[in-house]
Amino acid sequence: MPPPSPSPPSARAARSRAASKLPLTATTFLSLSILLLPLGFLATHKAFSAATAGHHHRERVLLQVQDQDGVSAPNANGNANQDEHAAAVERHCAGTLHRAVCVSTVSAIPGLAQKPVWDVISMVVSRAAAAVRASASNCSSYLARPHGLRVRDRLALADCVELLGHTLSQLATAAAELESRAADEEDDDDAVAAVQTVLSAALTNQYTCLDGFDGPSASEDGRVRPYIQGRIYHVAHLVSNSLAMLRRLPRRRNRKQGPRRSTLEGYDDDDGRVLRRRRGFPSWVSPGDRRRMLQQGAPVGADLVVAKDGSGNFSTVGEAVAAAPNNSVARFVIYIKAGGYFENVEVGSEKTNLMFVGDGMWRTVIKASRNVVDNSTTFRSATLAVVGTGFLARDLTVENAAGPGKHQAVALRVNADLSAFYRCSFAGYQDTLYAHSLRQFYRDCDVYGTVDFVFGDAAAVLQGCSLYARRPDPGQKNAVTAQGREDPNQNTGIVVQGGKVAAAADLAPVQANFSTFLGRPWKQYSRTVFVQTKMESLVHPRGWLEWNGTFALDTLYYAEYMNRGPGANTSARVAWPGYHVLTNATDADNFTVLNFVQGDLWLNATPFPYALGFS
């Protein structure tokens, strides 16, 4: 990994986004991963029983009828069937980013011309699942080797195995949703968004796996990545094609949505209005959970209590998480009393509907210091890592104390769907808040950092949050965001609505010595929007920073709308093709409708950030 400063063009050109643990922990994790992986595969086998083996790429589609011996036989309708089949292949592969893979995949589907789009996408997803199993087996075979792997490579491979396991689960979810919707003549937006969300996450997982082999302490001799990346890319290309096909599905407006509604489904008040109250929450947060989120002080009837002084059920957060039930359909509340908890905590995918409640920001603190310089991967460096669906947290602080010289060091990493955080603070330097994937909501939270301190490829909204730039190392530049969308059909991005961008206490006295930018494009289709946000004078007049030369400047989507403050003046902003100053509600409505109609629903489960205040 290049130096941690985002000084172009050499700044972090190769960035690690995978994960690691300390060696002893890694050994345990790897063993469990290898043992559990076949179980995950068996659990999802039924959903993908229709998966077929790969075929050679071909641009010309031919259809032959074979007799019982497998010999081509005359077909009275051969020419017509061939033309019909070829036309269907062209139709389904139009607009895909990986055409050769698409043609090879869909041309093998019998009766393609008669199949609805839902069925075709389902079959491509099945093929992707088969490719995931092959890729996971390949990675596991390298992990099983007793010698020849460096620690960092072994940790990165372990991340790949975990991420491929998540991918199988996400593809199974997509397959089930596709199957349930296949009989519908029209497809409502919630159904499309549900599939698009999990496929977007599945795609992100592949690139996170590969990112783990980059950066400081990674192998420079290419002894592992070249031997796994071909299969990983094949999975990514299959999922990318599925996302492209999904965009062409017919739509009907959800009954709750009016003809001029300026928001997307998922983050409305119960009566369907756009969120206007300061204390509004997404509609998927139940009334009971809303009361829990808004409650002050200790929760009533917490299921478990964590206390440093021994007055609770456990003295560490990790012990309480381990004791929580698996796959819970009811909310399970862990109350964490005031104190400093020096540990790395992981909320696994089996720990669903968990909630952390603390005694307040900077009173309840979960703190650790993993980082890439000391041989972690970015993915595994998180002080708190959350995967379990439906996770909620309020009134606590999560900190990575590695310091600015340790490069990537994550405080909070979230790849849990339908997760929400209220009155929490996240403190670090580089890569503080890793909004990795799926749908996330942050309300009235504080985030502290220097380089790319809000990053990832989730559909994430930070509403009413304060983003504080800290003093970086000499020669560094601050970048608030680094969004990681790899594909234009992913429904992902970072939206900052309300709140403020300001200097932290350590930066304010020396603010003139450092430049602070709103963001830079980590990946090719990076997407970030600032709406109705107060921008203090620390924001550089150009607003945005290049990643490396002209990379992604014409494919990113960066926008500002109705911001205020001394740093919000857009007259000297960058002149990139992908940068937009939205000046009126019509422009914003066109953007919303465009993405809504075309299936790019990255804000489907969030409040549309510039809906408020429209006349």
What are the catalytic residues?
Answer: 452
Which pairing describes strands 65-66 and 72-73: parallel, antiparallel, or unpaired?
antiparallel
In sequence order, what DSSP letters do the residues of 35-81 get, joined into one string?
HHHHHHHHHHHGGGTT--------SS----EE-TTS-EE--TTHHHH
Strand residue runs (E) in 229-351: 251-252, 304-306, 332-336, 339-342, 345-347
User: What burial class does residue 283 get, using C-beta atoms within 10 Å of its C-beta: 0-12 exposed, 13-18 middle, 19+ buried?
Assistant: middle
Of 460, 528, 532, give the one whose Cα is nearest residue 497: 532
User: What burial class does residue 428 get, using C-beta atoms within 10 Å of its C-beta: 0-12 exposed, 13-18 middle, 19+ buried?
Assistant: buried
Q: What are phi and psi of 590, to 5 degrees?
A: -65, -40
Q: How many CA atoms lie within 13 A of 417 on its CB side?
A: 22
Of 418, 460, 416, 457, give the one whose Cα is nearest residue 442: 460
Residue identified by tokens 């955080």 is 421
How far is CA 251 from each of CA 91, 120, 190, 192, 597, rounded to the nearest angstrom? 18, 17, 10, 9, 7
- Decide: 507 and 539 in contact? Cβ < 8 Å: no
Tokens of 469: 């730039």
How far is CA 16 from each of CA 216, 217, 372, 526, 601, rounded to the nearest angstrom? 8, 10, 8, 17, 27
Tokens of 236: 């990514």
- Within 10 A of 558 (CB to CB), how many other CB atoms are there? 26
- Within 10 A of 325 (CB to CB), how many other CB atoms are there? 14
Residue 565's identity, in one-letter code, is G
**Please, what is the angle between helix 189-211 and helix 225-246, to 10°?**
170
Of 447, 415, 456, 443, give the one whose Cα is nearest residue 429: 447
- Decide: 453 and 433 in contact? Cβ < 8 Å: yes
Q: What is the CA radius of gyration of the chain?
A: 24
